Structure 1
């Protein structure tokens, strides 16, 4: 396993357990303790973990993997979800996208879609986003018109946050908002880890006629720190697997349409982001 893959696994272990020992990582990865020490030191130098005697720990209780380390997680599910979301978008629509690996894949599906290439100037979809990586990657697509909100960038996610996001969006009326989330539950609706990202995503949803949540099955039935939207203000959930009967009943009671994406075709996976380091 190359170092990038090892770092992904280490960060997931830290996120799940809060702290790990060198011996635990060595056993999980099947590598020497010397290699583990180098990997933990590399993550600590990047400010992603706290190095401890004999291991490493998460930086805080609301631990968040940086976007570039999320690329490979649930990759096939995200491709399938993105394809299903793209099928819900019609030519000429304006679509709001927040940041994250799933919405980045949605943007790529929209960018590759021949169905959405309409009109003499081939402007098939307008994407309004607070995600710098999506804006950069889609700027080369001749049938995609990109509008970027204002705001201050977060290093963890490439998303613009702050009051300038809402100030820019209030002048728009979007057909559809597609939101990536960190959690979706009956009690708290759509949630994310960072309150600034929650505010920005809420602003995108507020100016949309239809709100789609794109979330793989690992996000369902859980809630995280900051609420984006209550469940009854979501129109469609697109996910990759059938949900439990109880959660299906909660969705129906809230008026949320459930779309279960077909499995991704062989060989498809999340493509790389706009830089060699890039990842809901």
Structure 2
């Protein structure tokens, strides 16, 4: 079992049992107690657990847990997407990133770049890149959504409208077979729209699970996107919509 899978399994146990013991987990997963303690430290750092004597207990915040769950879901796929996108971004360019666990993987993959201007409404992106050599980090002002670190609202929209970037990289919650790009929060969507209208090259990042999610607030459609980077073959109707929109679809490191 990989470290990511083990973390997800520990989270599942915390949800079911509220608390876990280090020694019991070490036996369950056939690893050393030291390995489990490192896993516990990672969960505590992410705000998912509280350390106890001999183990950990679940955090009461379900909103934080939900976002951290999304980070762990399809983690390998999101990491692969991030690396593909980072390969498109040359040193010395400017990039806008919105909130999302996949855009955070793009930021992680950009950490070895230099002389970038990174513009974002995602507190987590700043945390990922603040000790790197990327260059300039600019973050929007406005209301912070505690559950995921998104900065949303009119001030964040106005901030994006003050800038122009070479690249926009946005994530979403849902993709419809007709090419619609969707999310749940109108305030978050308003920022994503501002990012798209202020970038020269527009990249959408979404793992294959987004085709199984229904959301009602439209960010836009494929006509507004130059490249979609995903991890699996989209539905045929979506591929036809992408073809009509002249949107390139990339699956990991190969074109579809």
The alignment's TM-score, normalised by the length of structure 1, stands at: 0.68
1:148 maps to 2:130: no
Where in structure 2 are the equivalents of 1:122-133 lying within 5 Å? Answer: 123=115, 125-133=116-124
From 228, 239, 247, the equivalent of 1:237 is 228
Alignment-derived partner of residue 240 in structure 2? 249
Instruction: Report the secondary structure of 2:195's partner residue.
Output: helix
Higher relative contact order (CA 8 A, sep 6+): 1
In structure 2, what is the Cα distance between the partners aligned to 1:238 and 1:3?
26
Q: Output the CA distance in 1 between the equivalents of 2:246 and 2:92.
A: 26
Indicate the SS of the match to 1:111: coil
Aligned counterparts of 2:73 and 2:216: Cα–Cα separation in 1: 21
2:150 to 144, 159, 164: 159
Q: How big is the shift at 1:150?
A: 1.1
**Change in CA separation of 1:155 and 1:188 when aligned onto 2, cut-off 3 Å:** farther
Structure with more of its chain in helix, by fraction: 2
Deviation string for 1:28-63 (max 9, x for gaps)?
xx9xxxxxxxxxx957x4255xxxxxxxxxxxxxxx
Compared with structure 1, are the counterparts of its residues 179 and 9 closer, same or farther at alpha carbon in structure 2 (3 Å cutoff)?
Answer: farther
The RMSD of aligned alpha carbons is: 2.7
Equivalent pair of 2:97/2:121 in contact (CA under 8 Å): yes
Once the two structures are superposed, residues 103-133 of structure 1 have per-residue CA deviations (whole angstroms, 9 ceiling, x without a partner) of: 1110010113xxx33xxxxx2x111000011
Q: CA separation in 2, counterparts of 1:236 and 1:223?
A: 22
CA displacement at 1:242 relative to structure 2: 2.1
Q: How does 1:182-261 map to 2 (within 5 A)?
A: 182-187=173-178, 189-220=180-211, 222-261=213-252
Displacement of 1:4: 6.6
Mapped partners of 1:10, 1:249: distance in 2: 43
Partner of 1:83: 83
Instruction: For structure 1, list consecutive stretches of 5 or more residues without a partner in the other structure.
Output: 14-29, 31-40, 49-63, 118-122, 264-280
What CA distance in whole angstroms lies between the structure 1 residues aligned with 2:78 and 2:141?
27
Aligned length: 211
Q: Is the 2:142–2:151 Cα contact (8 Å) retained in structure 1?
A: yes
- Residue equivalent to 1:46: 61
Unaligned 5+ residue runs, structure 2?
Answer: 17-27, 29-56
TM-score by length of 2: 0.74
- 1:168 paired with 2:159, answer yes
1:71 is the counterpart of 2:107: no
2:168 is aligned, of 173, 177, 190, to 177
